[in-house]
């Protein structure tokens, strides 16, 4: 259920990342927006300006018993958030699994879409980690997401962030995708009046 009165600042541009699945694993979806651009004192007279991300929701979608997750319903929910709930959902990214049809359909409906794998490079997770350490991520209480974040491991051989056996990172992948996606969008920096050269300097550091 979605409660329109509980959507804060609906006009702020939203970023959604979806980690799809069909059977066995759960699918994940996270939606968030930039809510501020705090100045961070790094010491030695070094001040950095980086985005604060507020997460609207983190959702785990369980596969039905002896069935498959209805991927079309996820697309329907995203469109409903924008068209009926008046939430300014602008960007939607997917991992690669079973996502071509969803990307094409949402693009045809006016969303900016794309692929973003959390397994090709650890940079999205490094961006998320720094944002969490800085206190720049506001996340609703979610036991499964917290468990995934705590159990994440760095695989030096594969140069990727992974989960241990019998664990998962479906929702944490989505959170990393949203935080990284919003941090890398030039539009979010411009929206808060952060100078373009500051954006370029911070992105190079990331």
Measured CA to CA, the distance from residue 81 to residue 89 in angstroms comes to 7
Indicate the SS3 state at residue 120: coil
Backbone angles phi, psi at 183, to 5 degrees: -65, -35
pLDDT digits (tens), the chain, 206 positions: 788 888 999 999 999 999 987 666 789 999 999 999 999 998 888 889 999 999 999 999 988 887 888 899 999 999 999 999 999 999 999 987 778 999 999 999 999 999 998 988 999 999 999 999 999 999 999 999 999 999 999 888 888 888 878 778 999 999 999 999 999 999 999 999 886 556 666 656 65
User: Long-range contacts for 41-48 (Cβ within 8 Å, ≥24 apart)?
Assistant: 48/202
Helix, strand and coil in the chain, % to nearest 5: 35, 25, 35
Measured CA to CA, the distance from residue 159 to residue 120 in angstroms comes to 8
Indicate the SS3 state at residue 90: strand
Predicted local distance difference test score (pLDDT) of residue 201: 63
Spatial contact of 2 and 81, defined as CB atoms under 8 Å apart = yes
User: What DSSP assignment string belongs to 131-191?
Assistant: HHHTT-EE----HHHHHHHHH-EEETTTTEEE--TT---HHHHHHHHHHHHHHH-HHHHHH
Predicted local distance difference test score (pLDDT) of residue 164: 78
Indicate the SS3 state at residue 126: helix
Predicted local distance difference test score (pLDDT) of residue 52: 97
- What's the sign of the alpha-carbon dihedral 131, 125, 17, 112? positive
Predicted local distance difference test score (pLDDT) of residue 116: 92
């Amino acid at each position: 259920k979605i409660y329109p009165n509980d959507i804060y600042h609906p006009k702020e541009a939203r970023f959604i990342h979806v980690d799809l699945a069909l059977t066995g694993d759960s699918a994940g979806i996270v939606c968030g927006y930039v809510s501020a651009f705090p100045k961070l004192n790094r010491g030695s007279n070094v001040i950095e300006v980086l985005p604060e991300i507020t997460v609207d929701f983190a959702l785990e979608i369980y596969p039905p018993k002896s069935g498959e997750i209805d991927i079309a319903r996820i697309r329907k929910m995203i469109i409903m958030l924008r068209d009926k709930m008046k939430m300014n959902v602008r960007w939607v990214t997917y991992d690669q699994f079973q996502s071509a049809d969803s990307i094409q359909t949402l693009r045809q409906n006016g969303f900016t879409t794309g692929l973003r794998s959390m397994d090709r490079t650890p940079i999205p997770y490094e961006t998320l980690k720094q944002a969490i350490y800085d206190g720049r991520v506001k996340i609703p209480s979610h036991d499964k997401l917290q468990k995934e974040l705590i159990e994440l491991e760095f695989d030096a051989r594969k140069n990727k962030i992974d989960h241990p056996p019998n664990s998962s990172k479906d929702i944490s992948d989505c959170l990393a995708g949203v935080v990284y996606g919003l941090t890398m969008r030039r539009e979010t920096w411009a929206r808060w009046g952060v100078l373009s050269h500051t954006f370029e300097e911070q992105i190079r550091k990331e």
